[in-house]
Amino acid sequence: MSLDTSPPDLRQEARRQIEICNACRYCEGYCAVFPAMTHQKAFADGDITQLANLCHNCRGCYYACQYTEPHEFALNLPAALAEVRVESWERLIRPHGFSRLFQTNGTAIAGLLVVTLAWFFWALFAFRPESGVGFYAHLSHIVMVAIFVPVFLAPLALIAWSVRDYWREVGGGSVRLAHIWSALGAAGRMKNLSGGHGEGCNFENGDRFTDWRRVFHQLMMYGFLLCFASTSVATLMHYVLDWKAPYSLLSLPKLLGVPGGLMMVVGAFGLARLKMKADPELGARRVWKGEMAFILLLGAVAATGLGLYAVKGSGLVPTVLAIHLATVMTLFLLMPYSKMVHGFFRLAALVADAAKQDKA
């Protein structure tokens, strides 16, 4: 079902479908969306935005629904909520046009950035420090920090600004620690990808329940967190304990980073494969390329990081290092405009839902 319309029409179509679902309630136990919609009869724009960001696009409701096409109601709730969800990211993030540009041209933009930044870092290696070991023999620690700290913090500031606007739009209200803990638990377990019955969801095939999408998401998420923890620990070791890189395989940064990188590679491969198999008509078809580019970019960050460790001590280090730094920098720069932002919005949606459930 095509939903290629203006944002108000997207919300109106989602509202129409939600009102029908709210009257039926057959799918009430599938995920957090259906219990949330039962608490009201009328849905403001902010309510539609909140429900859209609660949706994990598992698609179980579509395959269970008796009102999909060719029925006259023509329900396709996963696609309707996916369109509103993407529109909310594009509308609330700043500058507004960048997000839409990446979502529709993601592969080209990410590829161009990686190539350009790889050449940039390769050029910087010409000014290599007189002393230094490991990576720092090619690019000094001070230069690396000066480049990456603002590139990391500026996108996070943009995301925080947009999440604040999201919170106001959906009427998030006051929050207690229990609400945050509940949201983190749901996100950590990927509870809303269980299909409500513990057998998984129908993402790739309507006749097949599977947990693979949840497993690959968890591998990606926890792998990323392990890699972030590795970088954080290495930073503390460098500045607090005065233990300089490179670190051995049995050091804490490597014990966190190597398994994390492997988990991310497997997660990216699995998610890309599932996305190739899934029906694009049950998601936001317009942003398919941007979503795939994001998955591949995460996989490239992990793969080049592992590759860098594999070529340690060889003449390939400068080339692989330049590519790895370029992929990491591209990920940071595109963080507010790629699907990376969905994690922040979804966590906010889960916190708001926990708070509203508490009041109900």
Q: What is the torsion angle, in degrees rounded to the nearest 10, for the CA atoms of residue 343, residue 348, residue 353 and residue 359? A: 160
Alpha helices in 55-128 (DSSP H): 60-64, 77-92, 96-124
Residue appearing with tokens 């909140």 = 50
Is residue 219 within 8 Å of residue 266, measured between CB atoms?
A: yes
244: number of CA atoms within 13 Å, CB side?
Answer: 10
Q: Is pLDDT of 134 > 70? A: no
Which pLDDT score is estimated for 325? 95
Q: Is pLDDT of 255 > 70? A: yes
| Banded pLDDT at 241 (limits 50, 70, 90) | confident
Residues 51-76: tens digit of each pLDDT: 999 999 988 889 889 999 999 999 99
Which pLDDT score is estimated for 7? 64
Q: Is pLDDT of 12 > 90? A: yes
Residue appearing with tokens 């998030």 = 172
Going from the C-alpha of 319 to that of each of 117, 131, 261, the distances in angstroms are 12, 19, 19
> Strand, coil or helix: what is 201?
strand
DSSP-derived secondary structure for 108-135: HHHHHHHHHHHHHHHHHGGG--SS--GG
| Banded pLDDT at 132 (limits 50, 70, 90) | low
Give the C-alpha separation, 128 to 141, whole Å. Answer: 11
Q: Is pLDDT of 263 > 60? A: yes
Amino acid at 1: M
Query: In this structure, what token pair is assigned to residue 199?
Result: 């057998």
204-213, 269-278, 315-324: segment of lowest average pLDDT: 204-213
Give the C-alpha separation, 103 to 231, whole Å. Answer: 29
Which pLDDT score is estimated for 8? 66
5-14, 171-180, 305-314: segment of lowest average pLDDT: 5-14
Q: At what angle are helices 212-239 and 252-277 packed, to 10 degrees?
A: 150
| Banded pLDDT at 131 (limits 50, 70, 90) | low
| Banded pLDDT at 5 (limits 50, 70, 90) | very low
Residues 272-293: tens digit of each pLDDT: 999 998 899 999 999 998 999 9
Is residue 215 within 8 Å of residue 192, measured between CB atoms?
A: no
Phi and psi at 201, nearest 5°, equal -120, 180
200: number of CA atoms within 13 Å, CB side?
Answer: 16
Which pLDDT score is estimated for 6? 46
Give the C-alpha separation, 17 to 292, whole Å. Answer: 27
Is residue 99 within 8 Å of residue 89, measured between CB atoms?
A: yes
Alpha helices in the chain (DSSP H): 7-24, 33-37, 45-54, 60-64, 77-92, 96-124, 141-170, 177-189, 212-239, 252-277, 288-310, 317-334, 341-359
Across residues 222-237, what is the average pLDDT? 93
Is residue 200 within 8 Å of residue 193, measured between CB atoms?
A: yes
Domains of the chain, residue spans: 7-89, 106-145+188-341
**Selected residue with higher pLDDT from 314 and 44:** 44
Query: In this structure, what token pair is assigned to residue 276?
Result: 């190739």
| Banded pLDDT at 130 (limits 50, 70, 90) | low
* CA nearest to 352, candidates 172, 146, 163, 158: 172
Which pLDDT score is estimated for 3? 43
Q: Is pLDDT of 173 > 90? A: no
pTM for this entry: 0.89
103-117, 131-145, 170-184, 342-356: segment of lowest average pLDDT: 131-145
Across residues 75-85, what is the average pLDDT? 96
Q: Is pLDDT of 133 > 70? A: no
Q: Is pLDDT of 86 > 90? A: yes
239-243, 265-269, 302-306, 307-311: segment of lowest average pLDDT: 239-243
Phi and psi at 243, nearest 5°, equal -100, 110
Residue appearing with tokens 């698609």 = 59
Query: In this structure, what token pair is assigned to residue 19?
Result: 């009102």
